[in-house]
Amino acid sequence: MLSVGNTAFILICTALVFIMIPGLALFYGGLGRRKNMVNNMMNSAFIMGLGIVLYMLVGYSLSFGEGGGNFIGSLKNFGLIGITKDSLTGLLPTFAFMAFQMMFALITPAIITGSIAGRMKFKALFFFIALWSIFVYYPLAHMVWGGGLIGGNIGALDFAGGDVVHISSGTTGLILAILLGKRVGYDHTSYRIHNVPFVFLGMGLLWFGWFGFNAGSALEANGLAAHAFMTTAISAATAMLVWMLIDVIKQGKVTLIGACTGVIAGLVGITPAAGFVDMWAALLIGITVSPVCYFGIALIKRVFKIDDALDAFGCHGIGGIWGGILTGVFVNPVINGGRYGLIFGQTAQFVAQIKGILVTFAIVIVGTLLCAGIVSVFMPLRVEKKEELIGLDISEHGENAYPSFTGLD
């Protein structure tokens, strides 16, 4: 039976998740260089168009449609065939459930673009994202939330997207960063964050939307949604404070960029666990995820010398892995099912979490290399050196974010 209250709640949460995409565009745009501001924002913006059309045609059917097996759904609902305004998924109109899940399919590939900022051809990125959505994201959504291998057979828990959203996007970004190579002058040029206020505004919109992201994943306006809302707030706030403390210890000063990054790390870390762990566990996730991401970023950039430009893997990949592992440590089945976590003396759920993460890695690595390989047959993945030095705003889009102002660099 249709629930009007649940429907209204999910549609509001859907709109909250949607606002995360322009929020991410501002966040990435501000973190990058001035000459790439338009490109960094456009890399998120175009997905709002491409992602919705793809999801309507094949995304929903491959993720949650009728039929399918362990790895991917079917095409029985291609183009939303067989679904009407009276179709129900649980207590929701199927279109409401679909719209909510569609927003996850938009924000996930947008996260990837942080790793390749400043050097990937826009045309190549466009076709890569289209292929990646089909070969990586939709299968993962089915495997975790659609009754497939990870959520169904393995029994791994992922409340709102640790595997599906953050590990997949972060790992993909890392692979692309390796394939593309470093930005010109990376080893001897100081890359300055050009617009700190935009970063803060982007973080604010992301945090705002994340409440819909996590609370909405309860799929009902109930106590579980309120629980996920609070664990989200606690983890993000705690991670922010811990990152500020690390800034003081390492640099002697608190930075706004550090505080914003801490919030994102805390949000990523709690995402898989939000509806499965107690409030004290959310606090511990927030406390631990910031140092893990902070030193993980340093390891990637300083030791492995990988140019993960805006730290997509450093925050989303590492934070998602850590959150998925700690879900297996702290899960309390009294809250929302699953099995008791490692801290309660049981290992089964912890092992399932590790297996789920490993399967996610395998799917993402193979799928990303396949998609990048297909695109590279038809066009170069990276811009020319001259175009990179000019800036992708001019070379790729013919636009300038600040046409009458030459400061900020």
Quick one: pLDDT at residue 326? Answer: 98
The secondary element (H helix, E strand) that includes residue 140 is: helix 138-145
Query: What tokens were used for 120?
Result: 């990937």
Q: How confident is the model at residue 408 (pLDDT cuts 50, 70, 90)?
A: low
Distances (CA, A) of 62 to 68, 93, 166: 8, 19, 20
- Per-residue pLDDT tens over the stretch 351-377: 999 999 999 999 999 999 999 999 999
Three-state secondary structure call for residue 112: helix
pTM over 0.75: yes
pLDDT at 268 over 90: yes
Q: What pLDDT, on a 0 to 100 scale, did the predictor assign at position 406?
A: 60
pLDDT at 387: 97
95-100 average pLDDT score: 98
Per-residue DSSP letter, 255: -
Pick 192 or 12 by higher pLDDT: 12
CA distances (Å), 277 to each of 161, 224, 248, in order? 15, 11, 30
- The torsion region of residue 252 among left (phi > 0), alpha (psi -120 to 50) and beta comes to left
Report pLDDT for 20.
Answer: 98
For 289-300, the pLDDT digits (tens) are 999 999 999 999
> What average pLDDT does the structure give for the chain?
96
Domain ranges of the chain: 4-68+90-397
Taking the mean position of all CA atoms in its chain, how far away is CA 40?
Answer: 16
Q: For residue 42, give the amino acid letter.
A: M
Token pair listed for 97: 């459930």
Q: Quick one: pLDDT band at residue 1, thresholds 50, 70, 90? A: confident
Number of Cα atoms under 13 Å in the Cβ half of residue 174: 22
Q: Looking at the domain covering 4-68+90-397, what would its CATH class be?
A: mainly alpha
What would the two tokens of residue 393 be?
């705003």
Please give the C-alpha separations between residue 58 and each of 94, 142, 370, in angstroms, as whole numbers. Answer: 15, 12, 19
Percent of the chain with pLDDT over 70: 99
Taking only the tens place, the pLDDT of each residue in 294-319 is 999 999 998 999 999 999 999 999 99
Span 81-96, mean pLDDT? 95
Distance in Å from the first CA to the final CA of the chain: 57
Side chain identity, residue 94:
T
Q: Over the stretch 204-258, which tens digit does the pLDDT of each residue have?
A: 999 999 999 999 999 999 999 999 999 999 999 999 999 999 999 999 999 999 9
- Whether 409 shows a pLDDT value over 60: the answer reads no
Task: Give the DSSP H or E segment for 92.
Answer: strand 92-93
Which pLDDT tens digit goes with each residue over 153-202? Answer: 999 999 999 999 999 999 999 999 999 999 998 888 777 899 999 999 99
The residue ranking higher by pLDDT, 98 or 403, is 98
Where does 32-93 have alpha helices with state H? 37-54, 60-64
**42-to-47, 114, 121, 127, 401 alpha-carbon distances in Å:** 9, 12, 12, 14, 11
Report yes or no: 72 and 89 within 8 Å, Cβ to Cβ: no
* pLDDT tens readout for residues 24-37: 999 999 999 999 99
